[in-house]
Amino acid sequence: MRVAVVGGGVIGLATTYYLLQSNHTVRCFEKNQPMSERSLGSSRIFRLAHQDPELVAIASKSRALFAQWEMRGGPIVSDCGTVISDEELEPWVSSMAAAGAKYEIASSSSTNTLRLPTRKLPSHALLDLSGGVIDVDRVKSLLTGATAAATHLEQVRALEQLARGVRIWTESGHADFDTAVITAGAGTPELAAQVGMHTPSEMEHALRLTFRLRAGVENPQCWIDKPFDGVSTYQHENTRGQWAVGAHMPIDDVAWEVGRDHAEKASARVVRNYVASTLDDVDPTEIGRVYCTHPNLGDGFHFLREGGIVAFYGDNLFKMAPFVGKTLAEAIVDGSTPSQADLAH
């Protein structure tokens, strides 16, 4: 089967990877460099912990596939664990329990359990024992190496359903395929609309800052913390001795229409204040930052189909990349339209 994959982020490359493993003829179109937009950065948090048991189950399946990737490319997900501190822990605990995932309940007195760069330990927290840090550079090396021959640096301008198959239009002309999958991130809504599929187009700005860990901090856990009303932070050791902190901000501060400059300033101010007031073992001097855009959808993902074309969209997806890529590769071949609920079982 001849398949076009439109978009070379981590999801598009993972889909291409699994299609190639099944001996299909694949062309992955990417307008820039692979994994250079929403998939950029050197690391991500991996976690089973979600407030939806379906996502816990799917993340568990994705972790097993990461383990298969590690057999080819070396260690990808560290085993440091991920801490969730939230005044409303019950949804997290219930979801982990319903999915049969391993976790512990820790408290500020659990000095042997919590390894966070602060002396102000949360009064209670969920410890996701399967959590850790994803080595994005290693994922990128594995996927770009395995899909290099199938990757074409061209921007897709249009898709067209044919009586039999799909036509892909680029700046250099067109090519025909049996089927296609759209995994183009911010470009998905425009492309999907051309063939009658609606996907959300509202985007927001996101910023993650990096700081130095003070001497003596060893193997800290990833941490998702909710310190203020309307703000949650996500943080982890992205390189040895460096601590990355991002914040999910009120939408009024990071909505697309406020502009990148305003959103970056607002996010940086909140993160720097949080680091200075809470993270005793982190030097509050910023040493780096990563900016990207993403849809305001929360955790989760969705599949749409129109004829021979499947469109995929979602948010907070890197940790799900192996499972989503494998699922898309199977769906585009067998003609199915997966759902998140179906995939959890």
166-211 confidence digits (pLDDT tens): 999 999 999 999 999 999 998 999 999 999 999 988 889 999 999 9
Q: How much is the average pLDDT of 263-286?
A: 96
Please determine, for residue 56, whether its predicted confidence score (pLDDT) is greater than 70. Answer: yes
Please determine, for residue 125, whether its predicted confidence score (pLDDT) is greater than 90. Answer: yes
Please determine, for residue 248, whether its predicted confidence score (pLDDT) is greater than 70. Answer: yes
Q: How much is the average pLDDT of 231-256?
A: 94
Name the amino acid, one letter, at 167. R
Percent above pLDDT 70 for the chain: 99
Percent above pLDDT 90 for the chain: 81
pTM of the predicted structure, to 2 decimals: 0.94
Q: What is the pLDDT of residue 112?
A: 65
Cβ-based neighbours of 218, under 8 Å, separated by 6 or more: 115
Strands ordered across the beta sheet of 203-213: 103-107, 124-128, 82-85, 222-228, 231-239, 242-248, 203-213, 282-295
Reading phi first (left if > 0) and then psi (alpha if -120 to 50, else beta), residue 14 is in: alpha
Q: What is the pLDDT of residue 269?
A: 96
How far apart (Å, rounded) are the C-alpha atoms in residues 149 and 22?
Answer: 15
Q: In which element (H, E) is residue 62 found?
A: helix 53-73
Q: How confident is the model at residue 343 (pLDDT cuts 50, 70, 90)?
A: confident
